[in-house]
Structure formats: structure tokens, C-alpha cells
Amino acid sequence: MIGYLLRRIGHGLFLLLGVSLLVFLLMQAAPGDFFSTATLSERMSQETVHALRAQYGLDQPLPVRYVRWLTSALHGEFGYSFSYNMPASALLLPRARNTLLLTVPSLLISWLIAVPLGVFAAWRRVGWIDRLYSGGTSALLGMHDLLLALLALMLALHTGVFPTGGMSSFSASGTLLTDWKDLLWHMALPVSVLVAGSVAPILRHVRSSMIEVLDSRYIRAAEGHGLGPLTVLFRHALPAAANPLISLFGLSTALLLGGSLLVEVVMSWPGLGPMVLEAILGRDMFLVVGAVMLSTVFLICGNFLADLLLYVFDPRIRLDA
């Protein structure tokens, strides 16, 4: 087990190294750099631009820059942002935390809603409940995140109950409790939008996976032994249907950092998404590389989490044939 963990971590580090190299090469292939616009500016002399490039090390060949970046990564800085004049990690980490404040609750809430609803929809798969279910999920699937976010903003504007954007009020700065309440109040709308956008596909997966299991002989046998519907659905059928859902859960954690970009932009949430978008447009190279690395870490961890969950939940994997 320990050996397996170490091997997985080794694979992960190797993957990170490969991804960083790839991003470096791609950024190199794109024309221009952060100071390209400055070259066109009349107020800045060519000498100054050259001096700036030299100061930030951009005049060095690619291998040297890559090795320098690696050293700074080992020091926990992950390069330097040109536009903010700060180490990339110091910029990215608080932003990533803000994004996770939105995406982690919305992921958990989506699953908490989708699993029982999906189980119920699978159980009652004919009649009006089914029609309600398929109509509802189709409507949600058809609606773009952007539209949902705009609808939420309209709601905020017309009712005045919720804030229209941002993460905190100017007025709120007092005890820890009021700060938290203020934060939750600001989170409510963006999280709801994210949940509405992600709940339908999960619901569909839960339902179809459950239907397959409910049709199986062992569920019919369990009913034949006189087990009640709750025991049959949640103790016998759901664990047997969990396998593909766990893989889906693992994959969805990979979206934790990037999935909320549009909502962050529209609802002016100070998350990672808007900053990275800006960094890409402005050729703020190390910020981009750092963000990609963070996403890769989440992807690796998500897959690892899914494997561990499968290992815990599925005895066929745990104990081998």
C-alpha cells in the first residue's frame, strides 16, 4: 500500500514536470512576450525594454529560463508575474482559494441533490415523475451557465436580497461571525448557479446507472426476500451502481479550478479564472504556467481520489478475482 502510494506520487510529479515543459514550449511558440506591447509604445525607449527583458531574464535561451523557473518552483514561488510584480504563487494561491470556495460547495451540493433524486427517478421510472425528471434535466442541460448567471444577477437586482457581485461587503468588517455570514451571503448566488449547471448531468448518470442495477437479478432476489424499498435502493442497489459514479466524481474534481470561469467573470468573483484569462491575454507567462500546474495537480489528485474511493467501495477491485 505504501509502495503503491509512493509510486502514484512519483508518477504525479513526473506528469507535472512534463506538463510544465509542454506549457513552456507552447508559450514559446506563441508570438511575442509581456513586453511586446511596450516595444510599440513611443514613451519607452528600446534600451529600457531591453533592460527590462534582461532584468526578468527573458533574453535568456529557453533551457536556461526553464531551469530558472524550476529552481524558483522548488522555492515555492513558481516564477514571477510581470504585471503584478510579485511571485506567481503568492498571486495564484489566494485566487485559487476563492475559486474553491465556490466550486467545492457546489460540487458537494450537486452530488447531495443528484444522488437521492437520481435514485428516486430510477425507482419510479414510469409515469409523471419520470416526465417531470426528464423535462427538468433537459431544461437545465439546455441552459448555458452564462444565462443562469445572468438570471441570478437579475434576481439579485430586482429583489435586492442578494449582492450582485464580489466576495464581501465594504461595511462588513467586524467579528468573525459577521464576516462569515457576509461571505456566505455573497456565495449563495454563484454557488446556486454552479449547482444548477452541474446537477443535471450527474442526475442522469445516477439514474441510468441505478436503472441498470435495479433490473438485475440480485435486486429482484432481494425484493423476493421481502426487503423494504429503502433497504433495497440505498443499501443494496446504490453501492452496486456506485462504480461509474465514483469515476465521474473523480473527473469532476478536475474541473474545480476551471469550471467556474464564466460565473466568476459575470458575478465579479475574485477567483482564479478572470486572473488567468487576463494573464493569457497579457502574456504574463509564469502566471499561466502556474495556473496550468495547479489544474494538473487537481486532475491528478481527483483521479487518485477516485481510485481510492473505488478501492474502498468495490470489493471486486479490492480483493481481486
Partner 1 sequence: MPGPLPVSDVLLRTQRLSLEYTGADGSTISALRDVTLELQPHETVGILGESGSGKSSLSHAILRLLPPNGKIISGKIEYSGEDILALSRRELRQVRGAGIALIAQEPALALNPVLTIERQIIDVLRAHRRVSKQEAMEQTRAMLREVGFTDPERIGRAYPHQLSGGQRQRAAIAQALICNPRVLIADEPLSSLDAVTQAEILELLEKLKRDLHLSMIFITHNSGVLSSLADRVAVMREGEIQACGTLEQLARGTDEYVRALMFPEKNIPTRSSSIASLAASTSAEPLLRLDRVSKHFLQRRFLSRNVFQVQALKNIDLQIAEGASVAIIGRSGSGKTTLARCVAGFERPDEGQILFSGSRSNDRSEIQLIFQDAGSALNPRFTAAEAIREPLDIARRLSFPQRQERALQLMEEAGLDSAWAGRKVGEFSGGQRQRIAIARALAAEPRMLILDESLSGLDLPLQAQILRLLMDLQARHGLTYLHITHDLNFLPFFADQVVVMDQGTIVETGTPATLLESPQPVTKSLVAASERLHVAGMEVAL
Contacts with partner 1, residue ranges (CB under 8 A):
1, 3-4, 126, 216-228, 231, 235-236, 239-240, 242, 311, 313-321
Q: Tell me the C-alpha distance between 41 and 46, whole Å.
A: 9
- Residue 303 CB, nearest distance to partner 1 (Å)? 15
As a whole number of angstroms, the distance between CA 306 and CA 37 comes to: 45
* 10 versus 228: smaller Cβ distance to partner 1: 228
Comparison of 65 and 236: residue with beta carbon closer to partner 1: 236
- Count the neighbouring beta carbons within 10 Å of the beta carbon of residue 305: 14
> Least distance to partner 1 from the beta carbon of 229, Å?
8
**What is the grid cell recorded at 234?**
440505498
Residues 119, 211: contact at Cβ < 8 Å?
no
- Calculate the dihedral angle through the C-alpha atoms of 20, 87, 190, 249, rounding to the nearest 10 degrees: 30
User: Taking the complex as a whole, how short is the minimal distance between the CB of residue 311 and partner 1, in angstroms?
Assistant: 7
Amino acid at 82: F
Q: How far is CA 30 from CA 23, 27, 57, 206, 288, in A?
A: 11, 5, 18, 42, 13
Nearer to partner 1, 100 or 310 (CB): 310
- For partner 1, the closer of residues 214 and 294 by Cβ is 214
Residue among 147 and 221 whose Cβ is closer to partner 1: 221
Min. distance of Cβ 10 from partner 1 in angstroms? 14
CB of 121 to partner 1, least distance (A): 15
CB of 226 to partner 1, least distance (A): 3
Which C-beta is closer to partner 1: that of 179 or that of 223?
223
CB atoms within 10 A of CB 225: 8
User: CB under 8 Å to 182, separation ≥6 — which residues?
Assistant: 168, 169, 172
